Each structure stands twice: as C-alpha cells, then as structure tokens.
Amino acid sequence: MTEFGFIDHIAALCGDLPLNSFEGIGDDCAAIEIGGGESLLFTADLVCEDVHFLRSASSAFDVGYKSLAVNLSDVAAMGARPVATLLSVSLPKDATEEWAEEFMRGYHALSKRYGVALVGGDTTRSASRITINVTAIGRMATSKIKRRSAAREGDVIFAGDVLGASGGGLNDILRGHPDTRLADLHRRPEPQIEEGLWLAEREEVHAMMDISDGLASDIRHIMEQSHVGAELDLGRIPVAEGVDLKTAATGGEDYKLLFTADPDRAKELMRDFENHFHRPIHPVGRITRGDKLRWMRNGEAVELDWHGFTHY
Amino acid sequence: MTEFGFIDHIAALCGDLPLNSFEGIGDDCAAIEIGGGESLLFTADLVCEDVHFLRSASSAFDVGYKSLAVNLSDVAAMGARPVATLLSVSLPKDATEEWAEEFMRGYHALSKRYGVALVGGDTTRSASRITINVTAIGRMATSKIKRRSAAREGDVIFAGDVLGASGGGLNDILRGHPDTRLADLHRRPEPQIEEGLWLAEREEVHAMMDISDGLASDIRHIMEQSHVGAELDLGRIPVAEGVDLKTAATGGEDYKLLFTADPDRAKELMRDFENHFHRPIHPVGRITRGDKLRWMRNGEAVELDWHGFTHY
C-alpha cells in the first residue's frame, strides 16, 4: 500500500470519530483552542533508519537535530511558536551508547536554540534499526493561524528561501559524495521558525505550509485545501547554489515555507521581509481559478510531469 | 545502554531547557494548564515489532487496539479523559495492505469506544519491521489531576483490578500456547479509563499511576516521586485466575490502576467503587515512612527480590 493510500484508508475509517474541539486534518498541524485567544498545535513525524537516514552517511548528532527540525518546521508552517516536544526513540543492540548520547546532543542543541521544552516520550529496544518519533506542540494566537485552505485566486505564491539544497545533498550522498556542502544541508536543514512567526503577523499572508516533499508536490496540498489552481513560473523558482531547476522544483526535505499573499500587498511584504531578515522571499507563481497546476516559462504554459521526491 | 540509563542521560542533558508552562516529568503524562480551570495532558508510547508484539502471535487488529490502549491507560492514570491521539506507523514491504487495514480497525474500535479523536500523525515505509508511536492527549480539571508524587505516609495502596493476566498470557505465548484466555488478555488489555475518571473525582485518592511494568516495579515510581516507602502484603495481592502470585506481583502490561488513598476513607472508597462498577478495588499494602519497599506475609517482612518484567 502506498503512504497516501493508507492515509486515505485511515481518513475514511476514522471519519465517524468525534473531533473533541480539534481541527486541522489537511494542515501541517492539528489545533485546539485554549483560553485567552490562543491555540495549541500538534504534529508528529517518524524518522526511520535506512528510509530517512543512513547511519553511515549521517552523524548521530545530525539525526537528532533533523528529527526535531522537521517537526519544528511543521509548527512554523502555521505560524506558531514551538513550545514542547515528546520524543520516542527505539534503539537496536548495534546502536551504541555513544550514538544515543550524540543523538540527544543534536536534539538538545536545536531545542535549546528555539527554547523548546522536552516534556515526555518513550525509549525502548528495537529488534533492528533505529526509529524515532517526535511530536511537537506549538502555541499561537488563534486568529493568526495560517492554513493551507486560505489561498485565494490571484494570490502571489512565495517560497520562503531558495530550494533544492536538500535534494541536491541527497543526490550527492546517493552518488557516494557525503562530504559536500549540499549533503550537510540535507543532514541539517534549517526550518524557518522565526520567519513563520513573522509571517503569521501579516494579514496579507493567506495560506502557508512547509515544503517537505518538494514544491511540485506540496503546492497541490494548498490547491486541494483551497479549491484553487496554480501557475508556477519556471523562470522564478529560486534555485539553491549547485543544484538544477528540476531538483529545486521537486526535491524534498528543504523545510522552507511556501505561502500565498494578497497581490496588492506582495511588494510591501517582500520589502519588509528583506528589511527584517536580510534575505528575500521569492515569488514563484500565482493562485488561479480551477484545480490545475500549470508550469509557465516566459508567460507560456509548458508540459511537465514533475512530482515530489522519494526517500532512500 | 539500558532504557533507564538513556532516560537519565536525557534528563541530565535537557535539564537546562525551559518548561514553557508544562509540568510532569516523572508522571504518566506531561500537563499544561489551559483556560477554564482545565489542563491538557500528553503521553507517547512506542510499539515495536518483535519487542512488544510478534506478528505471528498477535492479529493486526490486536496490535492496533493495544497500541492505543497502552496510551489511553497513561491518560487514565492521572484521571483525565482521553480526547485525541496522533498515530505514527512505519510499515515494511512485507506488511500487507490487509495488515494495515486490520491494524486500523483495531485502533478505530477502541477510539470509537472512548470517543477519542484521531487528529494527526505520520505514515511511512520502514526498511524492516513495524514500528508504531501513539501520542495521546487527555483533558481534565487541573485541580483533580492525580500525580505519582501525592502519596502520604499511612495511605492504603490499591490495585484497580486483579493482576498478572497479561504476564500469564505472555508466558503462554512464549511457551507456544497463543490461544489461551490469558494470551487474549495480553494482546488486548483493558485500560481502566472510566475507573480513572471516577477516581479523579475522589479527594481521598492521593497518588495514582497505571501498572505497565508490574506492581513490584511501578510502586517504586510512587515511592520515589512521593519520597515514601511502601509495604506490599503478599496475602492481599489480587491474583488473576490462572496465574501465580509472582506473576501477579511482577508481570507487566496489565494496564490496571495503582493508587493510594486516605486510610480513614478507604472503606467508603471501596464500597462506592464496587457499587458503581460492580467490581472491587484491592487494598494491597500501605505507604510507609522512609524509602524502602517491604514485602509482608501475615504481618512479617519477607525477603524477596522481585522486580518488573521484560518484553519479548
């Protein structure tokens, strides 16, 4: 069964369960309102050895760091501040004490940097291979939550940073070159936490999510949830140094923000972002009527069959 | 490294992280206050193939059911109502579509029974073996939370039900008899959700937790958190039908409640519980001064070296 087939099965089977005041199937996080106009947000991600990382190609520190980073990115993708995590780790006999301690140092370093509490979890043996699950909890003003469903026809589509570095790094690792700058970025991605918090304050930002499966794949989530189409301009996709356009458009695990904004305020948003972060955001296309994704070059539609990426 | 060695390492390393209004390291769940005098509670548990279950000895339905049951038990152990879960599952190629669907039917059946929402999670491939992580969220009045740290000298120690059925069932499975009544109870334990909610309303109930590693092991958590000792009376330990006393005292995965109560109100508590649930609770000993666990028989201390259990 494919991952998406299983998700569809779960959704169909569990459609009769109560919601208990939670919302958010379809977004990066589930959310529940608490007092004082605030909400708590929840997300969980599994990291599996030999699927998401190779012990031979990533240090234990990097695995710890990245296990948390991918979850903090989901929290940032809705504009929330990450406040706590629960960490579950299963370790086989061939994972040494040193590996486990170095893993925790990576996890701790990123927790510390963003002031995230570690409030629970589980540790256990595994019969083979390391598996990690991180559940991250975010907190934010309910009125400022950014959802995938909020894109409007005419919106400018933005990428929060250059794309493809992680995909290029994965290619390097698979080709036997694990020591490149791009491979480092694949092993230790930088989620846009502060950027997500900043963008949450901007009313002209409508839909938001993070790019984990590649722009070509993830834009479809915004389209589906917002019931819109999209045009992506091949000439405007911000390509990370050292990778090609297709990798930038389809490579996964960049963990950069993807968002849409009111076209009348897009220039102001770009200017204010650059003034604040000293880096630009990148307009890559626009939201259209309908339900189609079109790739554009010099104003002309181009036939392309680009999709998301797969892991190891 | 042992599981507990790793936990100690994590606790030491992460001691400098902020708490962000969460509390609860040392309890079955972490908790955060929300508005209206309520708190949300969080717990996570990993379930690993060939450690926590054998695909040859448990149906997929049972694995789904039990993965949720152990987490609901942690929520119940503090007196909370389980309101939502996040479910992460990694499936190897040799786990069929039928296995995944049957797993979800077990998970769904128990979710439905207790009205628990499924609000998120992750599905992914694994290179080998099935791993499951469930994060459960509970909700309750903050003033009624039952903690491991609340036991007082003189308290009566209670088991919420007979003990040892799951341990006996595990023994049956390991001996090649997977079709016994006890093996069924091992594969499909009944967490005491309603009992936990009822006990949370009783002020005379002080400390509470669930028995997951065996009475002999878990009572030590209450002792440590409450800075007290305990006497357990071998003649009063409620032994499940078909198992021996040692299995009842040390067998894991019963997921029954363990709690302490004011001795002056213990009889009333026992009577009211039995009137409500038509089953008794079982006084098994008392909380003492100091930090020692003593096993008693006919009022005399007995030397025993009984500890908790290990998985497959």
Which ipTM was obtained for this model? Answer: 0.94
Per-residue pLDDT, A305 = 83
Per-residue pLDDT, B8 = 85
Q: Residue A14's closest chain B neighbor by CA? A: B108
Q: Which of B9, B101, B111 sits opposite A9 (nearest CB)?
A: B101
Q: Which helix (H) or strand (E) holds A86?
A: strand A81-91
Residues of A in contact with B16 (CB under 8 A): 112
Distances (CA, A) of A82 to A110, A252, B14, B287: 11, 22, 16, 40
Q: Residue B81's closest chain A neighbor by CA? A: A20
Q: For chains A and B, count residue pairs whose Cβ atoms are closer than 8 Å.
A: 241
Q: Which helix (H) or strand (E) holds A7?
A: helix A3-13
Q: Residue B40's closest chain A neighbor by CA? A: A34
Per-residue pLDDT, B312 = 56
For the cut 70, the answer to whether the pLDDT of residue B185 exceeds it is yes
Per-residue pLDDT, A306 = 86
Taking CB atoms and an 8 Å limit, are B5 and A35 in contact across chains? no
Taking CB atoms and an 8 Å limit, are B120 and A17 in contact across chains? no
Strands A205-211, A256-261: pairing is antiparallel
For the cut 90, the answer to whether the pLDDT of residue B5 exceeds it is no
The model's pLDDT over B91-122, given as tens digits with 9 standing for 90+, comes to: 999 999 999 999 999 999 999 999 999 999 99
Distances (CA, A) of A186 to A113, A286, B191: 19, 28, 42
Residues of B in contact with A43 (CB under 8 A): 86, 120
The model's pLDDT over B8-56, given as tens digits with 9 standing for 90+, comes to: 889 889 999 999 999 967 788 999 999 999 999 999 999 999 999 999 9
For the cut 70, the answer to whether the pLDDT of residue B3 exceeds it is no
Per-residue pLDDT, A74 = 96
Mean pLDDT for chain B overall: 94
Q: Which helix (H) or strand (E) holds A157?
A: strand A156-159
B218 or A308, greater pLDDT: B218
Per-residue pLDDT, B307 = 74
**Can you tell me the mean pLDDT for B56-79?**
96
Under a CB-based contact definition with an 8 Å cutoff, are residues B230 and B219 in contact? Answer: yes
Per-residue pLDDT, B205 = 98
Per-residue pLDDT, A156 = 98
Per-residue pLDDT, B110 = 97
Residue type (1 letter), A187: R
Per-residue pLDDT, B26 = 78
Average pLDDT per block of 10 residues along chain A, 312 residues long: 75 93 86 96 97 93 97 97 97 94 97 97 95 98 97 98 96 94 95 98 98 95 97 97 96 96 98 98 98 95 78 55
Mutating which of A52, A74, A135 best tests the B interface, going by the most B Cβ atoms within 10 A? Answer: A135
Residues of A in contact with B9 (CB under 8 A): 100-101, 104
Q: Residue A93's closest chain B neighbor by CA? A: B1
Q: Rounded distance, CA A261 to CA A60, Å?
A: 39
Q: Which of B17, B42, B88 sits opposite A133 (nearest CB)?
A: B88
Tokens of B64: 């789904």
